[in-house]
């Protein structure tokens, strides 16, 4: 059976900047990669899943602690790295910042991060953003909206350079971090952005969602 789909490109009517930000690992700084790979992923997976993160997010019951090994060519680790079988990797320092400002928005599980010779590289955790709320104001945003049966929820937000996103702020309430149901991007408000910047944590991209 053929699957029909179409896209709708919306145009903004003026989106205020400085309200919400795209929170993600900084993958554009150049240089060598982190060089991390799971050493025990096959033992952690829940069949028939091919990645560790469940479709609905969060963490499954794990039979053992995840182990990530860094190759000899890997660079020093940053406070936010990604993506590892659907999750971010965050330092203990960044974890404390995120929990302090929105504990209900995140889930963490500890993991062992070691060099090729088995030396610990510090205290790190896999991290997932749990909160999913449908608050994107499509009428005010500029983005490509894909609609079709091939998308798990019937719709997908294709967000890239040039996008301008507006949100229904009254529906977000006191949340400082969230995803939408129709994209994998994570968004945070200016309070959490400020806390992350003040912490001095590195390796984090915080682009204005209104001027992506």
Bin 118: left if φ > 0, else alpha if -120 < ψ < 50, else beta: left
Cβ distance 75 to 33 under 8 Å?
Answer: yes
Bridge partners (DSSP) of residue 88 are 82, 127
What pLDDT is attached to residue 114? 98
Integer angstrom CA distances of residue 212 from 107, 142, 166: 26, 10, 11
Residue where the block lists tokens 């049966």:
149
The whole-angstrom distance between residue 46's C-alpha and the CA centroid of its chain comes to 21
Q: So what's the pLDDT on residue 200?
A: 98
Residue 123 has what pLDDT?
A: 98
Checking if the pLDDT of 100 tops 80, the result is yes
Report the distance separating Cα 80 and Cα 87, nearest Å: 11
CA separation for the pair 174, 16 (Å, rounded): 19
pLDDT single digits (tens) 118-134: 999 999 999 999 999 99
Enter the pTM of the model.
Answer: 0.92
- So what's the pLDDT on residue 149? 86
31 falls in which pLDDT band (50, 70, 90)? confident
pLDDT in tens, 36-75: 999 999 999 988 999 999 999 999 999 999 999 999 999 9
CA distance 60 to 147: 30
């Amino acid at each position: 059976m053929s699957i029909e789909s179409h896209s709708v490109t919306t145009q903004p009517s003026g989106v205020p900047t400085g309200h919400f930000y795209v929170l993600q690992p900084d993958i554009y700084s150049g240089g060598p990669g982190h060089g991390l790979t799971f050493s025990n992923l096959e033992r952690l997976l829940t069949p028939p899943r091919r990645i560790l993160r469940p479709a609905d997010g969060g963490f499954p019951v794990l039979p053992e602690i995840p182990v990530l090994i860094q190759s000899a060519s890997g660079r020093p680790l940053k406070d936010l790295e990604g993506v590892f079988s659907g999750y971010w990797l965050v330092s203990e320092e960044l974890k404390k910042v995120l929990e302090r400002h929105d504990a209900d928005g995140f889930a963490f599980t500890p993991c062992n991060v070691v060099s090729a010779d088995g030396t610990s590289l510090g205290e790190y955790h896999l991290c997932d953003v749990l909160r999913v709320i449908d608050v994107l104001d499509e009428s005010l945003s500029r983005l490509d909206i894909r609609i079709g049966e091939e998308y798990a929820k019937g719709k997908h937000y294709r967000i890239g350079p040039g996008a301008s996103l507006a949100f229904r702020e009254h529906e977000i309430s006191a949340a400082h971090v969230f995803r939408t149901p129709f994209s994998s991007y994570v968004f945070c408000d200016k309070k959490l952005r400020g806390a992350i910047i003040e912490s001095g944590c590195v390796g984090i991209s915080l682009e204005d969602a209104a001027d992506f």
